[in-house]
Amino acid sequence: MNSNVGKRSPSPRRNNKTASGRVAHSWAADTGPGLATAGADNDPGGIVTYSLAGTQFGYDMLWVCVLSYPSMVALQLIASRVAAITGKGLTTNMREHYAPLWFYVAVARFLVANTVNIAADMVAMGFAARLLWNGSVPLFTLLLGAGSIALQWKVPYARYANVVKWLTLGMFSYVGVLFTLHVPWSEVAWHALIPRVSFTEEYFSILLAVLGTTVSPYLLFAQAEQEIEELADQRPKDNSSGDEDRTERHLRRVRAQTFVRTALSNAVGFFIMLAASATLHVAGSRLDTADDVARVLEPLLHGSAPHVLGLALIGTALLALPPLTGSAANAAASMFRWQRGQERDRRIAFTQAGLTTLCALSGVSLALLQLNFVKLLYWSALLNGLTVAPVLILLLLLSTKRAAIGDLSMHWLLRALSWLATLVTSGALTAHFVLEVI
């Protein structure tokens, strides 16, 4: 594919140089909080799942986007800190400190959820292209999937993310929609701060899907790998002392960025859900097709709503696919015990390219089967939701292992918020299972 592969690995975690000589990371670029972050965190599955939750349950699930914020920050900080202290990714740490059965089951579930998510995002790009130009969804899926593979292989993520992120501006149209409607803000505030739970199978299924796209497991794995890479970049070539101080300064910067980007990501999800509640739910409408998803934006954009949604879906998918495939490739590297270095980077690069190709072809097959667009993306989010609780439990147990992180000191509030998120996701998973069996 790339004749320079022996000289410069295009791995999802390997650094590349831009034309100006600045370092650019291939899948976790130092683009900072902004559109790229919001787009990658709210991929097509997220947009559809938030829209579906608002359409079916109105304001009842707004609390997830608000109350999950502290726990999401805490979990990302723990993932970053474990990686920074140990110098190893989460999957490598889990392999070393858990029984093989638990490790392989957890990573296998993560890889399956990631693969389905990637394939669903591929199909979403095909439907999005049809909103823009009409035509064949399988053909659009094939072309855009090939484009994603080419971008991941040839172009550093930071370079193309700075362009693609502008396609996601349409997500902020959900905020504008609310100014065209009468919204009972006091009721919204109540539902945003006070959880309202319906003990039905449908409620807990959608709750798990929302949790799956809000507390995305792949972001925790990607975050950990990025910390290792950035700290390696900052280490002096002469191996001079000061690693501990350098790590602490880096983690302080990570903490500030995490607070901002998580707030932005959760705010986007909140306003998507709120706009769907104020439009489709109030009108008693259903959400079954891509055109239905676009109807949420019609009060503001009128006939342009499908085009704006189409651009946003393509933009968010292109931003999310590299972290998805990159974290999966790194998980595979840990399973097969690939040692860090140029050879590992090349293997990860080919694994990432192979996985993206496989998922693109799977997406074309799914498009040919004419599966329901909304249900496909919802199922991918639900599968992520079913994976969240086991991953969080293993991560938090890992953060308590002295053999793994030595004298790592974790603030009690950080631990409490993380365990709270784990208990909520585990409770939702248990309730879903019980109600499904009953």
The string of pLDDT tens digits covering residues 179-220 is 999 999 999 999 999 998 899 999 999 999 999 888 877 777
- Domain containing residue 44: CATH number: 1.20.1740.10
For residue 264, what pLDDT is reported? 87
**Assigned domain for 5 exists:** no
Q: Kindly provide the b/e burial profile for residues 146-167, where b requires at least 16 CB atoms within 10 angstroms of the residue's own CB.
A: eebbebbbebbbbbbbeebbeb
Mean pLDDT of the region 146-160? 86
Quote the pTM value.
0.86
Q: Could you tell me if residue 12 is inside a domain?
A: no
128 pLDDT exceeds 90? yes
The Cα 208–Cα 385 span in angstroms is 5
Q: Does any domain span residue 14?
A: no
CA angle at 399 for the pair 207 and 334, rounded to the nearest 5°: 85
Between 26-35, 50-59, 230-239, 252-261, the lowest mean confidence (pLDDT) is in 26-35
In-domain check, residue 302:
yes
Q: Which of 150 and 157 is assigned the larger pLDDT?
A: 150
pLDDT value of position 300? 95
The set of residues, in sequence order, having a beta carbon less than 8 Å from that of 413 and lying 6+ positions away, is 74
- Side-chain-side CA neighbours of residue 141 (13 Å): 28
Structure-block tokens of residue 49: 């799942």
In this predicted structure, what is the pLDDT of residue 223? 73
Q: How far is CA 78 from CA 113, 115, 399, in A?
A: 22, 25, 7
- Residue among 337, 378, 350, 335 at smallest CA distance from 120: 378
Q: Tell me, yes or no, whether 3 lies in a domain.
A: no
- What average pLDDT is seen over the chain? 81
Residue 128 falls within a domain, yes or no? yes
11 lies in some domain: no
Give the residue numbers spanning the domain of 371: 22-237+246-437
Number of domains in the chain: 1
Helical axes 90-97 vs 305-335, angle rounded to 10°: 40
User: 187 in a domain, yes or no?
Assistant: yes
Q: Which pLDDT band, with edges at 50, 70 and 90, does 234 fall under?
A: low
Instruction: Say how far apart CA 364 and CA 369 lie, in whole Å.
Output: 9
* pLDDT tens-digit series, residues 370-413: 888 899 999 999 998 888 888 888 888 877 776 666 555 556 77
Residue 194 has a pLDDT of 92
